[in-house]
């Protein structure tokens, strides 16, 4: 028998904006995630990330969603709240009209991909609960096929780097942020502490393709397995040249946002990094996985700084990808959900329906 919503399920949203939309009710509220460490990448530093948490109710069942807005996405609390204020699902008779609902949401405004993802995630969670199945099972994925998740080490001073690496000991793959003059020092410092495999994320920080190739060879000798977004996304020829000559695979992140970008990555990168906040959510993310395979591209599943809500949503696709970087909730100190978890570095999925999250009991 389907469990209906209790008042406790929506207690967190007691101070939220509430929108009645025909058979649907939308709840949303701003929230700020506090990082355990100052997070530095090639483009800047931050100690918190704004998010908007969402609940979508239909027939007494509630699905949860989230929009996470790091500064480089161009979204904020104000833009997401403004977008959600425009959403009106009153013309839709039921949540199973997924294509119609999400097509409508996508065409409301240009961009605003994180805001759109919050509706997509909440709708998928709601549908999974109505069907009483987790999404990985609805899609036919084997939960035993999930990859390990990497754990991200931001740019920092050597003593802080060593401490971060020690904290990351349970993880089988480290993701290291590069893109500054300290790149070699970062890797050498980490190698003082661990011999675990590393992937590096340059965040477009390398500007010269020959120097980038030299770094790729240097990194390969030190146990690096791939390079994410090595050069500016606009430098298409340089990225393609690097990919052709590099001993390591290259993964497009900033260069691939949505489904229409996937074909453009073919011949330029070895693979793509899919993030729900970039591509508007699970509906498009799954289509991107399938299209990437058609182009023989590797697939990485990534995230922003997010609660376990958005992380657990993305994790439903984890059995279908080559690599995963779903550590966003592990980097914060004020998560409000519990969902997917990590066991000895491996992503673990629960049998809970939808995206598989519950509120953390206080």
34-44: pLDDT as tens digits: 998 766 665 56
Structural domain ending residue among the three candidates 80, 112, 132: 132
Both 165 and 304 in a single domain? yes
Both 178 and 273 in a single domain? yes
Residue pLDDT, tens place only, 139-191: 999 999 999 999 999 888 999 999 999 989 999 999 999 999 999 999 999 99
The CATH number linked to 33 is 3.30.390.10
- Domain contains 121: yes
- Domain contains 54: yes
Both 152 and 128 in a single domain? no
Nearest-CA neighbor of 68 among 20, 114, 126, 17? 114
Question: For residue 130, what pLDDT is reported?
Answer: 97
Question: For residue 235, what pLDDT is reported?
Answer: 98
Quick one: three-class SS letters along the chain? CCCCCCHHHHHHHCCCEEEEECCEEEEEEEEEEEEEEEEEECCEEEEEEEEEEEEEEECCEEEEEEEECCHHHCCCHHHHHHHHHHCCCCCCCCCCCHHHHHHHHHHCCCCCHHHHHHHHHHHHHHHHHHHCCEHHHHCCCCHHHCCEEEEEECCCCHHHHHHHHHHCCCCCEEEEECCCCCHHHHHHHHHHHCCCCEEEECCCCCCCHHHHHHHHHHHHCCCEEEEECCCCCCCHHHHHHHHHHCCCCEEECCCCCCHHHHHHHECCECEEEECHHHHCCHHHHHHHHHHHHHCCCEEEECCCCCCHHHHHHHHCCHHHCCEECCCHHHHECCCCEECCEEECCEEECCCCCECCCEECCC
Structural domain ending residue among the three candidates 89, 111, 132: 132
Distances (CA, A) of 339 to 167, 316, 327: 21, 11, 13
- Domain contains 13: yes
Question: For residue 2, what pLDDT is reported?
Answer: 57
Structural domain ending residue among the three candidates 102, 132, 162: 132
Question: For residue 70, what pLDDT is reported?
Answer: 77
- Domain contains 1: no
Using CA atoms, how far apart are residues 129 and 354, in angstroms rounded to an integer?
5
Both 87 and 194 in a single domain? no
Both 317 and 334 in a single domain? yes
Using CA atoms, how far apart are residues 300 and 273, in angstroms rounded to an integer?
5
Distances (CA, A) of 227 to 92, 178, 205, 283: 44, 10, 12, 27
Question: For residue 217, what pLDDT is reported?
Answer: 98
Both 123 and 196 in a single domain? no
Both 47 and 71 in a single domain? yes
Please give the model's pTM, rounded to 2 decimal places: 0.95
- Domain contains 2: no
* Structural domain harbouring 44: 7-132
Residue pLDDT, tens place only, 46-86: 688 999 999 999 999 999 999 999 777 789 999 999 999 99
- Domain contains 258: yes
Both 194 and 107 in a single domain? no
Both 151 and 125 in a single domain? no
Using only C-alpha atoms, what is the Rg of the chain?
Answer: 20
Both 157 and 102 in a single domain? no
- Domain contains 127: yes
Question: For residue 6, what pLDDT is reported?
Answer: 47
The CATH number linked to 255 is 3.20.20.120
Q: How many CA atoms lie within 13 A of 122 on its CB side?
A: 28
Both 307 and 260 in a single domain? yes
Both 128 and 147 in a single domain? no
Question: For residue 44, what pLDDT is reported?
Answer: 62
| Number of domains composing the chain | 2
Q: Which residues of the chain have pLDDT under 70?
A: 1-8, 38-46, 361-362
- Domain contains 348: yes
């Amino acid at each position: 028998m389907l469990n209906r919503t209790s008042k406790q399920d929506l207690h967190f949203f007691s101070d939220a904006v509430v929108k009645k939309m025909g058979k649907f009710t939308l709840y949303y509220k701003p929230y700020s995630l506090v990082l355990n460490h100052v997070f530095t990448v090639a483009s800047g530093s931050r100690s918190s990330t704004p998010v908007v948490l969402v609940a979508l109710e239909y027939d007494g069942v509630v699905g949860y969603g989230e929009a996470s807005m790091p500064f480089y996405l161009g979204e904020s609390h104000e833009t997401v709240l403004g977008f959600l204020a425009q959403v009106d699902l009153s013309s839709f008779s039921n949540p199973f009209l997924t294509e119609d609902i999400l097509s409508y949401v996508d065409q409301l405004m240009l961009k605003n991909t994180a805001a759109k993802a919050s509706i997509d995630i909440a709708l998928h969670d709601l549908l999974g609960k109505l069907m009483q199945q987790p999404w990985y099972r609805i899609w036919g994925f084997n939960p035993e096929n999930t990859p390990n998740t990497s754990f991200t080490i931001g740019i920092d001073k050597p003593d802080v780097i060593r401490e971060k690496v020690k904290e990351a000991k349970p993880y089988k793959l480290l993701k290291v942020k590069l893109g500054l003059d300290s790149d070699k020092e970062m890797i050498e410092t980490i190698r003082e502490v661990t011999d675990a495999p590393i992937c590096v994320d340059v965040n477009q920080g390398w500007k010269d393709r020959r120097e980038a190739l030299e770094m790729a060879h240097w990194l390969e000798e030190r146990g690096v397995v791939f390079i994410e977004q090595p050069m500016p996304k606009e430098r298409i020829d340089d990225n393609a040249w690097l990919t052709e000559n590099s001993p390591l695979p290259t993964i497009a992140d900033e260069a691939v946002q949505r489904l229409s970008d996937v074909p453009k990555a073919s011949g330029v990168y070895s693979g793509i990094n899919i993030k729900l906040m970039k591509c508007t959510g699970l509906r498009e993310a799954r289509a991107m996985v399938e299209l990437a395979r058609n182009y023989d591209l590797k697939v990485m599943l990534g995230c922003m700084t997010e609660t376990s809500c958005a992380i657990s949503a993305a994790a439903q696709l984890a059995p279908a990808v080559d690599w995963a970087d779903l550590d966003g909730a592990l980097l914060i100190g004020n998560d409000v959900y519990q969902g997917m978890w990590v066991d000895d570095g491996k992503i673990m999925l629960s049998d809970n329906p939808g995206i598989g999250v519950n509120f953390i009991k206080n």
